[in-house]
Structure 1
């Protein structure tokens, strides 16, 4: 008897583990290191901004790299804790407590898996871009508003009104106290270094600007012995926030379910919109939206069981991955492994990171979320869309993320309905008759205008009402036309109505 052995093809599997192509290993290894260096401070910064231990942000980064990285869906996207969820997570922790965070994230993950399996992932592409951009801009504003407090050496208030009310104290603290002056100086240094790094020679710009800014500012704080508070990072195992019985018992309460659905929907939208952007940056296989949604849900389910932060696909890390030359999924898996090895072997290094430095990184992330040049361009080209964007962002700042987003969606739907219901009315008056031609879509939204035109027609003339070019005639307008024609006939005039081929 003869036996045959086979070697796995590039991209195949042996015992369920992907067999990565050897020819792309070097490129993926280099890209993974660059992504790791970008992800590390952001994982910590997002956790701190969310009001949870820094270790939980790193746990989410590890899961996003290793678990989601191995799953099908997207090739180049990198997942981890996102600045766009900090406002929502901070609100959830404030409302339900840190112990309930795992239950919320677990529930959101299950919702994402169900959405993906139901093939509803592609529907997220139908959400108005103005609402999504407004949502991100609102998050960016709240993020910036909250991070000015760590820069000034102050604790961040829990609510947005309190953050606005405390701004005068922030200014005073930043320019009069040693902690505030030191934090302000470090923040300016970080932002300045990151801006200047864009002009550095191309051969060294492979090192990410956030890493350079963090290292320079942290070294400056250490050498000058500045009076600033630093991040405290301990053991990952001791920091795990595994949900227990009492937390699971609140899973089906209305308040908890509302938070779960909000996290799931916003995390899904951010991930899939990120996929659309990242797919335009590379030639690798494009994202399968429903499969990617299942992968994101699986990652969030694992994060929930560990009590960590929720994850999304993150555009900053994903674009860094592409620009660093990644070729396969191996780069994002390796970046998760580097995160794990770093916090196991060298957790003490994170203790040299000042809070003000991380706050500066998040302020820059919030500023990017605003996308002001695009807002200005949109306002010049499509004022209606710009209004939806500004309204969504403003409502998020004034109320909360859920109310602001739902308000934006509602206004966008109404705006679209009005635009779709455009109706043209042309009247040609002759000696004995009036020819009226309608075009467009005759819906109930245009009923007042339609009746206004019809009621102004002469009562003693023959009216030829031509609706043959109307694309859609709903029941309300159909009945209104018939009722008006009957009334006109009861007077001195006559009416001839030409209906569209399909009226309804």
Structure 2
């Protein structure tokens, strides 16, 4: 196989990591030590061959230690093996019914809290072993009896534990070629060699006859409801960890993606085989999987080979395990348990305000039990999610015209009614209110709250205008129509304001194709949102502004003024020029627009908007030679000559293109006054002339005041 040169060395690295961890997990679970090696071999070979994640390495996992220890204590080891078989059968069924994705719905805060809680439980229990004693059956008892255990130290056993932890701490700081040996293996080798060399009085591990003394799993004695619940718990916890491990490893390599349903079924078959052979439950283990990927593995054969090495070691070199002090294994588990409490995980859940879920899960696992702690964390996560989904925000502000503008956002359910009612009743009586409902759902309780407030407010002399930005939940409820059965689907935000050449637009082909693509995007995304507005505008237009600006493709009047359909009556030409009334050469286009805007549309404002880097003004600065080959453009630019004359008359230090662009705006405002109708309306206070200047580089809009004897050097910002 072409990948064997990568998978073979990677499998050896994972094997060296797997052996000490498997032995330690078996010891912490109160199971025979051989059960850990059996589970590691079966997890590697069976799950590696049948699973759907090519680089995940399976074996006994620390997260199940607490559960397995409780099962061994309650039913005995042989009965626990049968529960493992049942759990594997459940996983096979779940995989067959394509339910693997459901496990990913578990909040990461619950998962991290569970792992941290299990780590604390393991660390407290194995700390007693390191100190020469025996662990108790609960984390609380271990904690209570810890001071007495510390007072009654067993010298050599404690020294072995301290030595093991010391090696684990310093190993990552050693040279890279030394760190090629996995830290757990190095720590156990150093501890075993030191204990043997100095003849320390430590507890030895004995595997003699353990692999050969196989017996059939036994039927658990007790309430079958509890037995079924235990099997289901093992299946769900092991399956969830395997699937989360698969998803995590997918993000660290570029190979084939994981088939989660196949992975779950493969893990189930591995658990059936492991339980039948007398092994621990197996799951995908993140530590071994990341080690596998970092060692350069390419396919599932690395995991399979690692399982073969574990089996070969157990059969041929199992006698070497007698050299390992049990206190060293316990110290390894204490170190691993503490490492599960990751500050990085805490920071992640803190960023999403899920620290309470993490802490409740952790505390529940430590104080009550693993199943209870996980259920408590899931319940709290569900409550917080429900609270977020039903959160209501009410923003209020007073408009310059004296009206009060209020915006209600969120999903309006009965849970948000108290907050909604309090905010609405805080609005002063007899106020004129514009109420925007930016909501995606409204139940009857929320409708009654808004409707009752509206009736009361209007009865006391106020006015309420309700505008719904999405589906008409309020209007339909008020008319007695049938409400929508579910939340409004989210309206995808288009990127209409981005250039076609921008990567996020993802348009291809010639310009005509881009236009048709843009039209299709408008129909798909934007048209449903603006159709009600255009329906109202279809009969007639009533713009309030005549907007005269440059034909430059970088200027978007509606974007830079935050205006909508029907607001601006727009005239665009090169240089945003306004020919004087009766000027030569004559130009009726701009004059016709001015005439129509002031006599028919009755606009209130005429705006002339220039911009930085205007090509027309640059051509004026360049002189007639610039437009020598463009006779029509040269003729048109004569209407901007007055601005160039002004720039020459100033003779100031700012005789630049930017200054000319601003002076041109002022000159065109004066040219507007040459139209009799415009001048009359300005003098009567019926029409306002405004100058704007758009700085393209900074995307800032500046107000350009009319010309005065004391012209400010820099116009104010809008």
Higher helix content, 1 or 2: 1
In structure 2, distance between residues paired with 1:392 and 1:204 = 39
Using the TM superposition, give the Cα deviation of residue 205 of structure 1 relative to its aligned residue in structure 2, in angstroms.
2.4
Cross-structure match for 1:331: 302
Moved more, 351-360 or 434-443: 434-443
Moved more, 473-482 or 33-42: 473-482
SS of the counterpart of 2:36?
helix
Cross-structure match for 1:352: 323
Work out which of the residue numbers 180, 199, 209 in structure 1 matches 2:173: 199
Give the RMSD, CA atoms, in angstroms.
2.5
SS of the counterpart of 1:166?
helix
**Superimposed CA distance per residue, residues 305-332 of structure 1 (whole angstroms, 9 cap, x where no aligned partner):** 2342111111221122222222222221
In structure 2, distance between residues paired with 1:144 and 1:241 = 31
1:270 aligns with 2:249: no
1:37 aligns with 2:16: yes
Q: How does 1:34-433 map to 2 (within 5 A)?
A: 34-174=13-153, 180-240=154-214, 242-244=216-218, 246-247=219-220, 253-375=224-346, 377-378=347-348, 382=351, 384-427=353-396
Output the TM-score relative to the length of structure 1.
0.87
Cross-structure match for 1:482: 451
Q: CA separation of 1:241/1:259 partners in 2, compared to 1, >3 Å: closer, same or farther?
A: farther
**Superimposed CA distance per residue, residues 359-380 of structure 1 (whole angstroms, 9 cap, x where no aligned partner):** 11111211221113442x347x
In structure 1, distance between residues paired with 2:135 and 2:354 = 33
SS of the counterpart of 2:340?
helix
SS of the counterpart of 1:424?
strand
In structure 2, distance between residues paired with 1:202 and 1:429 = 66
Using the TM superposition, give the Cα deviation of residue 279 of structure 1 relative to its aligned residue in structure 2, in angstroms.
2.3
Q: CA separation of 1:257/1:483 partners in 2, compared to 1, >3 Å: closer, same or farther?
A: farther
SS of the counterpart of 2:216?
coil
The answer to whether the Cα contact below 8 Å between 1:56 and 1:307 also exists between their aligned partners in 2 is: yes
The answer to whether the Cα contact below 8 Å between 2:434 and 2:465 also exists between their aligned partners in 1 is: yes
Output the TM-score relative to the length of structure 2.
0.62
Unpaired runs of 5+ residues, structure 2, are 474-483, 485-718
The answer to whether the Cα contact below 8 Å between 1:141 and 1:397 also exists between their aligned partners in 2 is: yes
Cross-structure match for 1:451: 421
**Superimposed CA distance per residue, residues 207-256 of structure 1 (whole angstroms, 9 cap, x where no aligned partner):** 21211111111111112221111112133454445323x43x76x82211
- Structure of greater Rg: 2
**Superimposed CA distance per residue, residues 327-377 of structure 1 (whole angstroms, 9 cap, x where no aligned partner):** 2222211111122122222222111111111011111211221113442x3
In structure 2, distance between residues paired with 1:320 and 1:496 = 63
Moved more, 235-244 or 327-336: 235-244
Using the TM superposition, give the Cα deviation of residue 37 of structure 1 relative to its aligned residue in structure 2, in angstroms.
1.7
Moved more, 421-430 or 439-448: 421-430
Using the TM superposition, give the Cα deviation of residue 50 of structure 1 relative to its aligned residue in structure 2, in angstroms.
0.1
**Superimposed CA distance per residue, residues 165-221 of structure 1 (whole angstroms, 9 cap, x where no aligned partner):** 1111221123xxxxx221221122112223333233323422212111111111111
Unpaired runs of 5+ residues, structure 1, are 1-20, 175-179
SS of the counterpart of 1:349?
helix
Cross-structure match for 2:553: none
The answer to whether the Cα contact below 8 Å between 2:91 and 2:267 also exists between their aligned partners in 1 is: yes
In structure 2, distance between residues paired with 1:453 and 1:255 = 50
In structure 2, distance between residues paired with 1:484 and 1:96 = 63
In structure 2, distance between residues paired with 1:354 and 1:239 = 23
Q: CA separation of 1:33/1:426 partners in 2, compared to 1, >3 Å: closer, same or farther?
A: closer
Q: CA separation of 1:490/1:209 partners in 2, compared to 1, >3 Å: closer, same or farther?
A: same
* Count of aligned pairs between the two proteins: 472
Using the TM superposition, give the Cα deviation of residue 497 of structure 1 relative to its aligned residue in structure 2, in angstroms.
4.5
In structure 2, distance between residues paired with 1:475 and 1:306 = 59
In structure 2, distance between residues paired with 1:167 and 1:280 = 41
**Superimposed CA distance per residue, residues 374-402 of structure 1 (whole angstroms, 9 cap, x where no aligned partner):** 42x347x5272223212211221111111
SS of the counterpart of 2:3?
helix
SS of the counterpart of 2:217?
coil
Using the TM superposition, give the Cα deviation of residue 49 of structure 1 relative to its aligned residue in structure 2, in angstroms.
0.4
Using the TM superposition, give the Cα deviation of residue 443 of structure 1 relative to its aligned residue in structure 2, in angstroms.
2.4
In structure 1, distance between residues paired with 2:434 and 2:196 = 86
